Chains A and B, each alone.
Chain A
Amino acid sequence: MTSTQVSEETNRQALERTWASPRGLLGWLSMATHQAIGRRYIFTAFFFLLVGGVEALMMRMQLAKPDNTFLGPARYNQIFTMHGTTMMFLFAVPVMEGMAIYLVPLMVGTRNVAFPRLNAFGYWMYLFGGIFLYAMAFTAAAPDAGWFAYPPLAGPQFSPGKGVDTWAQMITYTEISALCVAVELIATILRMRVPGMALNRIPLYCWSMLIQSFMVVFAMPAVMVASTVMLLNDRTIGTHFVNPWEGGDPLLYQHVFRFFGHPEVYIIFIPALGFVSSILEVNSRRPIFGYPAVVLSQVATGFIAFGLWVHHMFATGLPQIGEAYFTAASMMIAVTSGIQIFCWLATLWSGRLRMTSAMYFVFGFVFIFVLGGMTGVMLASIPLDLQSHDTYFVVAHFHYVLIGGALFPLFGAFHHWFPKITGRMLNERMGKISFWLLFIGFNVTFFPMHILGLNGMTRRIYTYPAELGWGDANLIATCGAFVIAVGGLVFIANAAATLRRPADAEADPWNGSTLEWATSSPPPPYNFAYPPVVSSLTPMWTDPQLRTVVTGMNTDRREVLITGVTEGEPQFRTVLPGPSIWPFISALGIGIGFAGSVFAFSWYFVASALGTIGMVGWFWPRSSGRLKS
């Protein structure tokens, strides 16, 4: 062994000791590495995807034929409410956050996210929110006023019981979680990149997450105002924000909710654009065409997304001049999506394609998402919206953009990064089989819904009479839903079978372009023995050995490098906090308080008290974290 090798080995061992997570149950609850938290987010979110999927199948079974009695009206309304709520708040946003928590620190070449304990706290809040919602739903109080809970239907008079309170409070949990992740990602991406990673060398996926995180910061407080301040207070302590009979305004709720609700779609969708860019770059063997154009159109999407919420409210009868503005804004967002699609097509055309299963999902994405984008342009038009709003045309549209726009890229990403996260390669053949099942099943399910909508089938109806002629298309859609389910099972079987095999994936099985491929699969808890220094957008292609690295960082405490926002020049080192049980205890205390507040307002004081105890423990001053050897 040469002396360099020896020193590298000591370095490695020291890092291993410093970054190790504690063992045992208590240790498991205390973990604060981005890898553990990211994996937990992803796993939990996929569990909720399954639950939401089962709910979808139950709805499709009810609608398979006219005048069906599989589910009654009460059960059906609960299930569609739970389906929407689960998919939006417990699956789509958290899974995107989980992927980012896992991938972003690797891509920017650092060792953890900026605030590891806040990260753990965010996960626990999300988990408790999900448990709370389903615990209430299975005991007595499933919400049944829709995932949007418009008053007065969701108000105390027309939705007595605890269902809507549960819904509104669940939003509070998941929202705190989303805000935690947003703050993490903004700080991590802006200040913790490796030296040399100037703004114009940030991987496109990290750009997507940066933009998405800023959107979360501005959008999530709006839903808190709508669901907690207005709706929950109207219901529990008798405020009259949205009560039309006491001077409140139900449309005010719609404005505030949709001010969140529309950006929410992009909060789910923009991370997926990042997946597409990454997968496409690696598998067309060239840097993404038009990097600045892609980044700028995503930034523009982030801004415009806040200016089109009224297209959810065209039927409420707002003044025409205002509506025309929102039509224009809604259509213009298609330009920014169009530019990205064109850049990807140019990448495809000038690259050399390698058709992995991840690429299949990207092609599926292009097909489904572009079709959904076209119907989106239709819905931006007020006259067309007045016919198609709240019909199955809209159901078709948003499943095309959300499943096509977010779920297909997510599945692609899953195949692409599975070796990195688990150290095992998914079976490509099964990946492609599951792709075809999902793709065909998806289109068979949702394409007929366009026609159903134009033929007058309204949303959220638990049954329909035979003479309206909707039976055949509904039956086809139901069959398609089961094909999707089979595709999902193949996907799960693939993942389960792969996890039973030994972890033997290479560090860089796809010959990727960005830094996550520079470390082993799965990465060690400290990610990189030495943070690399990069000089291009695709460091793994321009300098696969990553010969220039940062040395001289302390290995006996959790030190990370802080760099400049624009140029990525090294500025100083800082020490990140390590594992701690307190984020879990804080989240538990606050979670219990929130759950109790649905029954009595005084539980908010319990939440404050327990939360304060947790925070005191969390921030209790300690030594600098240097290990006593």
Chain B
Amino acid sequence: MKRLWLLVLLAALTGCAPGPQSAMNAGGPEAHVIADLMRNFTILLGVIFLIVIGLALAALGTRRHRGMETLAPSPDREAKLTRIVGAASVLTTVILLGLIVISVSAGKALSDRSMPRNALTIEVTASQWWWYVRYLNDDASQIIVTANEIHIPVGRPVMIRGTSQDVIHSFWVPGLSGKRDLIPSRVTTVWFQAERPGRFRGQCAEFCGLQHAHMALWVVAEDEAAFEKWRAAQLQDAHEPSTDSERNGQQVFLGSECVLCHTIRGTAAHGQVAPDLTHIASRLSLAAGTLANNRGNLAGWISDPQSIKPGNHMATVPLEPDQLQSLLDYVGSLQ
């Protein structure tokens, strides 16, 4: 019995090493504050739990019952027990008050942020089942629009201003900070900052319908130079097709329903209801974190989006094999 327990515990602990979406794999000050608080709570409460269970099990070692007699509790013993129970209750209250204080002060550390001068403000608008991302800037020509992927410079505070187009979603990148609901007709905010370069996966945390499971995003933290390079690239219009196949692919794109929903800046495609594809090839994933971004997955996604992410709002556009190959060449070139 004991061995089974150990095995289960071990498997539970090791089989679950923190992955790219773990809150225990903190990548910034906000996530650290919470992870530290979690560790302190766990240790303290774990000790209390063990004491209580120890006391309950130890009672099994006391005198057992014989026959049907009942006990008239002795006044002395009752008085002693009253003192012990009273002391334990007071102690519980004091511990909980202490926990309230450390919890509220951690909460203040997370939320009391005046707008730092170098902060990056990113607007995130959730829809069923993807994320519209816009980097705000006083200079309109510097505004970046992308989807399902956020790049941030290491060491700079980031404010997410979130809202939703349809149902309630929740923006959650566990490695960087706690979650915040994105609610239609409201704007909510969350702050975070990355302390090291890396990729942090996030996922919608509020049940939002059929494809709630496939509504992820990536936050890529990189050093200032890499970030600036990325930003400059994103500001560009789409890559002009440079081969015949890419040119054919562009024609396929512009000649099909694709343009009704998607935008490729620098072309006639200005659809606003689906992710902006201007720099789709530079992203890590397709279909809001559902598939790794490579040619094979892209082919599968374009040919049959409904079997990969059933119920999503992307139409299945019938294409001839050669049209599909050209389209893949073109979309794959949109760095």
Contacts and interface: CB of A to CB of B under 8 A. Distances in A.
Contacts of A444: 8
B211 A320 contact: no
A347 to B, nearest CB: 9
Nearest to B85: A342
A613 to B, nearest CB: 42
Contact of B110 (A342, A383, A462, A473): A383
A470 to B, nearest CB: 7
Contacts of A469: 15-19
Contacts of A284: 65
A121 B140 CA distance: 67
Interface stretch (B173-181, B241-249, B262-270, B273-281): B173-181
B65 A316 contact: no
Given A332-B96, A349-B81, A464 B208 contact: no
Nearest to B209: A153
Given A153-B167, A352-B64, A386-B178, A476 B107 contact: no
Contact of B23 (A150, A455, A461): A455
B76 to A, nearest CB: 11
A25 to B, nearest CB: 44
B205 A315 contact: yes
B37 A456 contact: no
A391 B178 CA distance: 12
B103 A383 contact: yes
Interface in B150-170: 166-168, 170
Contacts of B99: 331, 377, 381
A55 B253 CA distance: 44
Size band of the A side of the interface? 35 or more
B68 interface: yes
B201 A73 contact: no
A464 B93 CA distance: 41
Interface in A361-392: 363, 366-367, 370-371, 374-375, 377-378, 380-391
B117 interface: no
B88 to A, nearest CB: 5
Interface in A144-158: 145-146, 150, 152-153, 157-158
A334 B181 CA distance: 27
Contacts of B172: 458
B48 interface: yes
Interface residues of B, number: 96
B16 A470 contact: yes
A152 B167 contact: yes
Contacts of B57: 363
Nearest to B189: A317
Interface in B202-240: 203-213
A448 interface: yes
A538 B12 CA distance: 46
A511 interface: yes
A444 B12 CA distance: 9
A461 to B, nearest CB: 4
Nearest to A370: B52
A459 interface: yes
Contacts of A462: 212-213
A375 B48 CA distance: 12
A616 interface: no
Contact of A251 (B13, B16, B56, B183): B183
B6 interface: no
A443 B4 CA distance: 12
Interface string B8-41: 1101110111111111100000000110011001
Given A317-B188, A331-B96, A455-B21, A352 B213 contact: no
A353 B64 contact: yes
B82 interface: yes
A390 B69 CA distance: 50
Nearest to B20: A468
B118 interface: no
Nearest to B175: A456
Nearest to A477: B12
Q: Is the interface of A mostly helix, strand, loop or mixed?
A: helix
B321 interface: no
A464 B213 contact: yes
Interface in A385-416: 385-391
Interface in A448-462: 448, 451-452, 454-462
B168 to A, nearest CB: 6
Contacts of B203: 456, 458, 461
Nearest to B52: A370
Contacts of A385: 178
B201 A150 contact: no
A627 interface: no
Contact of B62 (A145, A349, A370, A390): A349
Contacts of A332: 93, 96
Interface in A426-470: 440, 443-444, 447-448, 451-452, 454-464, 467-470
A455 B100 contact: no
Given A158-B209, A289-B85, A341-B52, A353 B60 contact: yes
A460 B172 CA distance: 15
B206 A390 contact: yes
Nearest to B66: A352
Contact of A334 (B24, B66, B96, B166): B96
Given A315-B179, A339-B85, A459 B207 contact: yes
B317 to A, nearest CB: 22
Nearest to A247: B185
A451 B16 contact: yes
B3 interface: no
A350 B65 contact: no
A73 B213 contact: yes
B254 to A, nearest CB: 32
Interface in A466-505: 467-473, 476
A473 B13 CA distance: 8
B271 interface: no
A456 B201 contact: yes
A107 B13 CA distance: 47
B22 A327 contact: no
A390 to B, nearest CB: 4
B62 to A, nearest CB: 6
A161 interface: no
Interface string B267-295: 00000000000000000000000000000
A331 B100 contact: yes
A500 B78 CA distance: 45
Contacts of B168: 150, 152-153, 250
B256 interface: no
B24 to A, nearest CB: 5
B56 A384 contact: no
B16 A245 contact: no
Contact of A384 (B20, B46, B103, B205): B103
Given A454-B24, A455-B18, A456-B21, A383 B34 contact: yes
Given A387-B174, A458-B205, A451 B13 contact: yes
B47 to A, nearest CB: 10
B141 interface: no
Nearest to B1: A440
B39 to A, nearest CB: 11
A290 interface: yes
Question: Which 8 A/B pairs are nearest by Cβ-Cβ distance?
Answer: A386-B178, A472-B15, A456-B21, A461-B213, A381-B103, A348-B59, A244-B185, A354-B65
9 contacts: A146-B207, A289-B78, A352-B66, A367-B56, A383-B106, A387-B23, A387-B38, A456-B21, A458-B205
Interface of B: 4, 8-9, 11-13, 15-24, 33-34, 37-38, 41-42, 45-46, 48-49, 52-53, 55-57, 59-60, 62-66, 68-73, 77-78, 81-82, 84-85, 88-89, 92-93, 96, 99-100, 103-104, 106-108, 110-111, 128, 166-168, 170, 172, 174, 177-181, 183-186, 188-189, 201, 203-213, 310-311
Given A327-B107, A335-B92, A476-B11, 8 more contacts: A342-B89, A345-B56, A377-B41, A384-B37, A387-B178, A454-B23, A458-B203, A469-B19
